[in-house]
Structure 1
């Protein structure tokens, strides 16, 4: 009999993710002694040391990391197989959808309307960063991701672009440029920026920095905050200028902030959203989402 089954794999992954048996037992809602015994028995039956143990906790050995990668793939596939069988039987499980905040202003509502039109059960929604979604997809914790590129290839998953959304300038309503119908990017680089942390979107952050330097000015940051609403509140308070996407500006009114198109960065400064899902499910989802997005954008 194999030393591996789905129960043991879940227990092993919990310890690998949590770093201690105590934390893993809490996450699994079980007591610590049987979990400790299960991990030791697994190592004995495989004849391998899966964890390096220290006072600080437990870290994976090379063998442990190899097992963790395979276990995540196996359990993720089991989850997707169960969902597929229920769907074939006419009892689809709720989709678990991860999304970045940019998806709130177009892609996520489009996907939700598509699922409702199919009379599917209400999905379970999880706001997550792109790296968090990639990890959750890999480990079978979500079924669909709405995330930003770059996206590495994932086994059994397919990724498709949902289109680009250009950035506009976000200015305090009483700013000297706030009455303009459009602006050049260089006109706002005299002001300090209010942006997201670089770690949240390093590719986009670097692109903004490069564009600022291209205008011959220093890249000034007045503040960084993860949430768009927080950024816009600081803009409204006159602390600096921000960036907001066209779709967000069309759907979100923020008191004290004026959004103005940037006429010279449409093809250089934009956010792109991708849908990642099981390769057998992506074409259907993509068609539905793109249909609703097209109708939404045609009204802007």
Structure 2
């Protein structure tokens, strides 16, 4: 809640969000408050019942209200790492605390599996799917995986039903391409359940856009797989101690196993090359789709214009 209110303070909310007098009243209410260091309970106590209801609605319908409140895009920690490397930043920054720090002792994958099992591509495909699940979950929760543990578990159960929350021994994927297709379809179905209005969006360019977003994140997360898998496991482990569900406990143990696998994998350049190849193909497909759609829309407009002209001539 504090992070959301902080962003509302930093970004000007459009006038149509609140009536002028309500907006001025809200500004005056928080004028003398340092939101950066304020107690969330104090902020909550200062809100009226109507403002609390609006805030609850905003949180429960995050995707629908994202544009309404003109919130800035969430910047995940793996983007911060990339930016630091590009800018050659060596000094600590205010965002460094968001980057997961690995423990001194990492799990030993060799003690968990036989040598033949460690060479299976299924391990990599499942790990890629888990990383994609983590990517979406972090963006969905704006990095606050423990803020709403019920929602976090629901997202993981939905997206990782065939891996972390599955009791099947077999791998559901036959290639990285299938991994990308599966996670994207699961995300779209999840969003559709949250907002049925997004059905039309999914039928247009959203599928391409989502694939591109997921792959871009994976290209950054695969090199940082140890941090990502540890952060994911740590969050779910803490959740499992609050939600005593057998399925969640099983997911925690599976996630620990794949974290160990992530620590054992040394060179995944072939995986990165495959992701880049898939990304290139998707971008070409998206361009072709948009061109075809534009041509179809232009043809429809010309047809409608011709029909209107013919009717005028008849009159």
TM-score between the two structures when normalised by the length of structure 2: 0.24
